[in-house]
């Protein structure tokens, strides 16, 4: 977690800030399932993986979408439009 820049005000004692920061830390909820039932655990892991993969797929794709578009595409469309007008 990134450290928040401190924005102290006279109304906000430092102690309270520290409490806020603590409350933001979540406990690790990763599979702590007892290994007693292998099938159930495998199914839970599988579901977790599917969820994770779905999000990873979206993130990966979003990363591609946000890449800057080379100027040549704007020029291409302008050229196409110009040709169209000449005809």
Partner 1 sequence: MTVPRPTPTASLRAEFMAAIPNLRAFAMSLCGNATRADDLVQETLVKAWAKLATFNEGTNLKAWLFTILRNIFFSEFRRRRREVEDADGILSGRLSVHPEQLGHMDFQDFRKALLTLPNDQREALILVGAEGFSYEEAAAISGCAVGTIKSRVNRARKRLTEALGVEGASDYGPDGSSVSVMGQSTQVRSQ
Binding site for partner 1 (CB under 8 A): 28, 30, 45-46, 48-50, 52-54, 56-61, 63-67, 69-70, 72-74, 76-78, 80-81, 84, 87
Of the pair 11, 84, the CB lying nearest partner 1 is at: 84
Rounded-to-integer distance, Cα 66 and Cα 17, Å: 35
Rounded-to-integer distance, Cα 41 and Cα 50, Å: 14
Of the pair 39, 81, the CB lying nearest partner 1 is at: 81
Rounded-to-integer distance, Cα 70 and Cα 17, Å: 45
Closest contact distance (angstroms) between CB of 67 and partner 1 is: 6
């Amino acid at each position: 977690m990134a450290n928040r820049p401190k924005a102290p005000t006279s109304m906000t004692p430092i102690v309270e800030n520290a409490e806020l920061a603590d409350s933001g830390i979540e406990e690790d909820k990763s599979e702590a399932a007892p290994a007693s039932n292998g099938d159930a655990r495998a199914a839970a892991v599988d579901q977790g993986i599917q969820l994770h993969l779905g999000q990873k797929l979206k993130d990966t794709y979003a990363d591609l979408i946000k890449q800057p578009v080379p100027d040549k595409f704007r020029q291409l469309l302008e050229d196409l439009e110009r040709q169209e007008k000449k005809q």
